[in-house]
Structure 1
Amino acid sequence: MASSFDSYQKRKLVSSYISVVISIALVLFLLGCLGLLVINSKKVADHFKEQVVMTIYINDTAKEVEVNQLKKSLAMADYSKEAVYVSKEDAAELMKAENGEDFMNFLGFNPLKNSIDVFLKADFVTSEKLTEISDELTQKDFVEEVRYDNDLVELMNDNVKKISLWVLIISALFTLIAVLLINSSIRLAVYSKRFIIKTMQMVGATKTFIRRPFIWQSVKLGIVGAIVALIGMAVVLYYSDQTFPELQLLQNTVLIIALFIGIFILGVIITWISTFIATQRFLNLKTDQLYY
């Protein structure tokens, strides 16, 4: 009978440990994924900004030398990521492919212009800087017009600011929730042993002596939970990088390593503090208060 009871107690203890580890791992995993989002949020925003194209339309009277010089200067400019020359013939072929019909059969001529598509660096995709660049380029005699979607640029920048603010708010809120959830899991684990704590105290054991095994056990659970969370984060990061290779998510190696170390340390610190507070609470309770 005693053996059966001991076996039941061991299973209950193991089940309690597993639930604590799972709770810690899930919370740290979600917190880590949010951290990865924060680290790569600027990179994601920059990726979308760099899809904005500034198109420079060139007069038919422009000399080939002038066009080549302009293309080279644009390719070397601080604000330019890439400059692609599109002839009027290539533009006509692209339009024909998009519309499914040859509009030149109706018009009898090609009304399109030679152009240069400039893909800008993310830091220069603002209304003010685009206006400066546009004004500078339109001063050239052979440049007929400079076009870009200013409304899209303003909308994109406004949304980036709003999203960045909300990501910071959610990060702070989620960190607080993570601490509270892990603390609750640890307190429940310690609560189940409150009578053992009081018994040890009644036979003369010091508070430090009583706390030590509980803290060490919780720290070990925190380490296991943190390792499980880090494995999950690594899997998510790997598959995200494989799915979106253009974002180069693994490029910020130092920040990613710092995040992984931070999540590991956070798991240890939260479990240590939570266990200390929980055991201290039961150590300060009177015997009759343990039943409430």
Structure 2
Amino acid sequence: MGAPKSKQSSTLRYSRLLSFISITVTLFMLGALGLVYVLEQGMSEEVRERISFTIELPEEEGSNPEATVAEIRRLPYVREVQMISADSAAHSLTNVLGEDPTKILGYNPLVPMAKIFLKADYTHPDSIQQIIASQPLFKTAEGLEEQQGQWVSASKNLQTIRLVLWIFLGLHLIVSFLQINTATGLVIYSQRMRIRTLSLIGATSSFIGRPFIRRAVLEGFVGALLALVLLAGALFGIEEAFGYSLLRLCPQIPLFGVIICVPLVGVLVSFVSSSRATRRYIHMEEGKIHLI
């Protein structure tokens, strides 16, 4: 009698270990895909905020370039303004041409300018058109037409990338459900005779299923935590290897969403899978349970 019990115990431990590894790997892949989506959002925001355009500041009598720059900085859609004085512009032009144009002409032909960076939320093509219409100074901006073309192209590319990522996330969520369902069902299957025995002696369905469901939910939660630890380790390894912090690019709210969703998926899928598998063996006919 000892050998069969030992063999059954070994099979149960193997099933539980296989289930735990499968859950952890599945949730790790799901979290990694979610992290890619979060990184895409952060990187697209950073790229949009780096795009700039330059405007000439008025030099009419009574105008004050510094006051104009201060007024532009107060605009709700402006992230940063860098003022370029006429002397700084002449110095930069001297470096490019290799000769000082002010010495040739006898005066500085350049005018003060302002380099403007917009906030990421206002870099969409429709927003740009509204900003240009509301600010006469922006209508003569240098390079704004080219920037508009870049923004339109970038917006279309980002929409395509996000659509593809959403499709992959949806498909992997389905795969995650199937894999966790199979792994959890394997553990319940190894205990099917015990479940049937408890059912025959009059134990209620809730009494029989409670320990199996509790253990499955705990394994799903612990597997999710381990998957998050592995993701954090991967990010730390990338930073150590390449000296680039990916977490810095991640928006906080979507990142917290991934951190919450991974354990939530692990717990919910483990709960649903263990509940279904337990009910199946509780209500299965005795003849059939010996055949599977």
String of CA shifts for 1:148-191, please: whole Å, max 9, x gaps. 21110111122233333333333333222221111011111222
Contact 1:36 1:256 in 2 (8 A): yes
CA RMSD for the aligned pairs? 3.7
Tell me the distance in 2 between the aligned counterparts of 1:262 and 1:164: 18
Distance 1:231 1:89, change over 3 A: same
User: 1:57 Cα deviation (Å)?
Assistant: 3.1
TM-score (norm: length of structure 1): 0.77
Which range moved further: 145-154 or 73-82? 145-154
* 2:159 alignment counterpart: 161
Gaps of at least 5 residues in structure 1 are none
Output aligned runs, 1:229-240, within 5 Å. Answer: 229-235=227-233
What's the % identity of the aligned pairs? 26
User: 1:89 Cα deviation (Å)?
Assistant: 5.1
* 1:276 alignment counterpart: 275
Contact 1:207 1:283 in 2 (8 A): yes
Contact 2:37 2:165 in 1 (8 A): yes
* 2:245 alignment counterpart: 243
Tell me the distance in 2 between the aligned counterparts of 1:82 and 1:14: 60
Contact 1:126 1:157 in 2 (8 A): yes
TM-score (norm: length of structure 2): 0.77
Tell me the distance in 1 between the aligned counterparts of 2:263 and 2:198: 32
Picking from 136, 143, 155, the partner of 1:147 is 143
Output aligned runs, 1:192-211, within 5 Å. Answer: 192-211=190-209
Tell me the distance in 1 between the aligned counterparts of 2:137 and 2:218: 69
Distance 1:95 1:234, change over 3 A: farther
* 1:25 alignment counterpart: 24
String of CA shifts for 1:62-119, please: whole Å, max 9, x gaps. 569432222111122122111112245544665777xxx6443799678765421100
Distance 1:238 1:64, change over 3 A: farther
Q: Secondary structure at the match of 1:82?
A: strand
Which range moved further: 6-15 or 170-179? 6-15
Output aligned runs, 1:18-57, within 5 Å. Answer: 18-38=17-37, 42-57=41-56
Tell me the distance in 1 between the aligned counterparts of 2:211 and 2:130: 67
Picking from 167, 170, 173, the partner of 1:172 is 170
Contact 1:137 1:146 in 2 (8 A): no
Tell me the distance in 2 between the aligned counterparts of 1:80 and 1:136: 13
Distance 1:43 1:218, change over 3 A: same
Tell me the distance in 2 between the aligned counterparts of 1:64 and 1:7: 95
Q: Secondary structure at the match of 2:114?
A: strand
Gaps of at least 5 residues in structure 2 are none
Output aligned runs, 1:113-128, within 5 Å. Answer: 114-128=112-126
Matched residue type, 1:275: S
Contact 1:33 1:233 in 2 (8 A): yes
User: How many positions carry a matched residue from both structures?
Assistant: 282
* 1:104 alignment counterpart: 99
